[in-house]
Amino acid sequence: MFQVFVLLTSLVTVESASLRLDNQANEVAVMIDVFAEKHWLSVNVTPTETVDDAGFLRRVTLDLAGRVPTYDEARAFADQSGPNRRTNVINQLIDSLEWALHFGNVFDQIIQGKHAGDRAFVEYLRRSFQEGKRWDNLFRELLVGPWTTDEQKSAKLFLKKRVQQIDELTNDTSRVFFGVDISCAKCHDHPLVFDWTQDHYYGLASFFKRTYEFGDNKEIIGEKDDGEVTFVDVDGESHTAQLMFLSGTVVTEPLADTKFKMIREHALNQGNYMPPDFRAREQLVEAGLRDSRFFSRAIVNRIWAYLLGQGLVHPVEQMHSENPSSIPGLLEWLAEDLVQSEYDLRRLVKGIVSSRVYQKASVWRSSDRKPALEHFAVAPLRPLSRKQFALSMVLAAGTTSHDQAKRNGEVDTSYRQMEERSQSLVGALDDRSDRFQSSTGEALFMSNNDKIQSLVQNSKDNLVSRLTAIESKHEMIEMLFWTVLCRAPKEEETEHLLAWFKQNEDNPVRACENLVWAIISSAEFRFNH
């Protein structure tokens, strides 16, 4: 009884502390902190302090806009006061066009994986985020359409990239939309996870067996009237798979309308596609949304991993009974809230970045052992994606045109121009990984490539030209740090650079070029922290 009393008392304390968050923080942020603080208490973990304002602005701008803050943004935020500054920045970012442009790239990677990079598909995603399309609607469009308009046609690229390989289509659908790597259950029941059997694998594959490309140019992703999946178990016995979702729910196919089937076959013979009465992929979508546990938890876990470096369930494709969420109850609550909000991803993202969990510092100053990442008590160092890194280099070392574009309402054009310029850098940069280490190739590229050198050479209205036009070395150093690192220089940094400029006073332009290159090549710039 005493232990129950202590637990209840601690919960009240945790809830009271969380509810003292800024009154504009939404319910999602409050509940994240409630669950996290309860967890920290249970495992005897003391979290780190909150990240400072400059670090927060850089972190959240990279996460929501895909770039570092501009000089004007960094200085304006530093000059603000009041308790709602962070909430206001979050609202501005998530309501901006840049959110849609960046999250189009983010979800291209999430959905397409090795097939990512198709411009038409990215534009489809960007329009979807700009329109505020909900995740369940995106899921439906990707798997069943409609694909009647030019804008909608790009949605079928998820299927089109995989339609020739039913195993790839089955595995990728399971991983991306349901958080389950079902591939180990193809040849036998999963040896370590009792949740997944051959029936689950082939049951899911059955929803795609009838999918095929129709037409002279294979422009239509259609479905046949029938098609069964058979498999052999470890005992050599043959089975016919049922249409079965991961939850074990079996979809029963009604008897076909013979008359309609004949009409449809005639149309197909004439080169005109007619969909069958019973469409298996549509039934998969309905099953996934009806029993939404897999679908909702999978996307919550992926977005959490994107924003906090690791999923509540890790790896993100291993959601099963043997691999529970590292903060008990939180994933389930967030998934249910997502369903109740009708799959509003903006609400979810805003809630996460508004939470104190997201806003923890990445520097561990305590003498105690640093908590494991799974406790989310200290922010991880996260390498920038290749596109984030390239776009941020172009922005930081370039002109002030993006600030001007924001004032003139021309963000879309400016963002795309920076993307176009940064595209030539992306291929040579290292992609993110769990244990990131910059490769020799990236180091050599940053050191020697002409494209990098052109960013830092003195030219009209770029950063180097603006720096060399400043007479005061103190002011020059201030502008450099606020532009590239989004913070004020430390006293020892200023002293060191003043001495360095003194040593290189015979060629101040070259000195500025070298310094800009050194800072955009630094670990501080390469990581989100």
Residue 23 has what pLDDT? 39
Would residue 85 count as lying in a domain? Answer: yes
Question: Are 26 and 130 in a shared domain?
Answer: no
Which of the 8 DSSP states describes residue 209? T
Provide the terminal-to-terminal Cα distance of the chain, rounded to the nearest Å.
43
Q: Find out whether 481 and 473 touch, Cβ atoms under 8 Å.
A: no
Residue 398 has what pLDDT? 94
Cα torsion angle, 270, 276, 282, 284, sign: negative
Residue 12 has what pLDDT? 39
Question: Are 83 and 114 in a shared domain?
Answer: no
Within its chain, how far is the Cα of 22 from the centroid?
A: 26
Residue 218 has what pLDDT? 86
Which backbone phi and psi does 32 adopt, to 5 degrees?
-60, -45
Two structure tokens written together for 235: 């005992």
Q: Summarize pLDDT for 10-40 with one digit per residue, the tens.
A: 443 434 433 333 333 489 999 999 999 999 9
Give, to the nearest 10 degrees, the angle between helix 345-354 and helix 27-42: 50
Question: Are 430 and 488 in a shared domain?
Answer: yes
3-state SS, 482-504, equals HHHCCCCCCHHHHHHHHHHHHHC
Would residue 298 count as lying in a domain? Answer: no
Q: Which residues of the chain have pLDDT under 70?
A: 1-25
Would residue 175 count as lying in a domain? Answer: yes
Question: Are 524 and 479 in a shared domain?
Answer: yes
**Coil, strand or helix: which one is 226?**
coil
For strands 238-240 and 230-232, give the pairing.
antiparallel
**Coil, strand or helix: which one is 527?**
strand
Residue 310 has what pLDDT? 96
Question: Are 462 and 510 in a shared domain?
Answer: yes
Would residue 116 count as lying in a domain? Answer: yes
Q: Which of 290, 315, 339 is the last residue of a domain?
A: 290
Q: Please tell me the distance from the alpha carbon of residue 482 to that of residue 480, in angstroms, as a whole number.
A: 6
- Could you list the residue range(s) of the whole structural domain that residue 71 is in? 2-92+327-374
The domain total for the chain is: 3
Question: Are 393 and 505 in a shared domain?
Answer: yes
Would residue 29 count as lying in a domain? Answer: yes
Residue 270 has what pLDDT? 85
Residue 233 has what pLDDT? 92
Question: Are 139 and 270 in a shared domain?
Answer: yes
Residue 269 has what pLDDT? 85
Question: Are 361 and 460 in a shared domain?
Answer: no
Question: Are 259 and 206 in a shared domain?
Answer: yes
Residue 150 has what pLDDT? 85
Q: Please tell me the distance from the alpha carbon of residue 35 to that of residue 165, in angstroms, as a whole number.
A: 42
Question: Are 29 and 12 in a shared domain?
Answer: yes
